[in-house]
Every structure is written in C-alpha cells, then in structure tokens.
C-alpha cells in the first residue's frame, strides 16, 4: 500500500483512468491480459509473472511494491 505516496489527486483526469487499465502484454506471443490472469510465482521475495500460453517471463518485481 505504498503506491499512494506520489499520486496527487489533481492529475487523475479522464486521461489517466482510460490508460491505466493495467494490462500486461507478453513479449513473445502478444497475449494481453490483466495481472491476475498470468502465472504468478513468488520466489525469494521476488514476484514473477509468466505467460500461461508460451511460458515467457513477463516481469519480476520486488514483493514490497505489490
């Protein structure tokens, strides 16, 4: 829940709400889906998202940011 610290209300216009759909794209097969629909693996405090279609690794981020 540390995402709020630099999120001023004033910048939250319609532009932002349209773009911020949080959809991830697979670099390998081009699959597009929200973060919930990817294979999620947490290991050593690092969370990794993998494509269920082609097993490509999308992103690995420290768990503290999630």
Does 28 sit near Zn ion (CB under 5 A)?
A: yes
- Of the pair 12, 39, the CB lying nearest Zn ion is at 39
Count Cβ atoms within 10 A of the Cβ of residue 30 and give its class: 0-12 exposed, 13-18 middle, 19 or more buried: exposed
Which residue in 38, 47, 49, 51 binds Zn ion (CB under 5 A)? Answer: 51
Q: Angle at the Cα of 65 (from 48 to 2), degrees rounded to 5?
A: 160
Does 24 sit near Zn ion (CB under 5 A)?
A: no
Which residues make up the interface to Zn ion (CB under 5 A)? 26, 28-29, 31, 51, 53-54, 56
């Amino acid at each position: 829940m540390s995402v709020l610290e630099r999120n001023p209300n004033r910048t939250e216009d319609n532009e932002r709400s349209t773009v911020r759909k949080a959809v991830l794209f697979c670099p390998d097969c081009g699959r597009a889906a929200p973060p919930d629909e990817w294979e999620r693996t947490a290991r050593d405090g690092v969370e990794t998202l993998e494509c269920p279609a082609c097993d490509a690794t999308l992103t690995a981020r420290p768990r503290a940011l999630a």
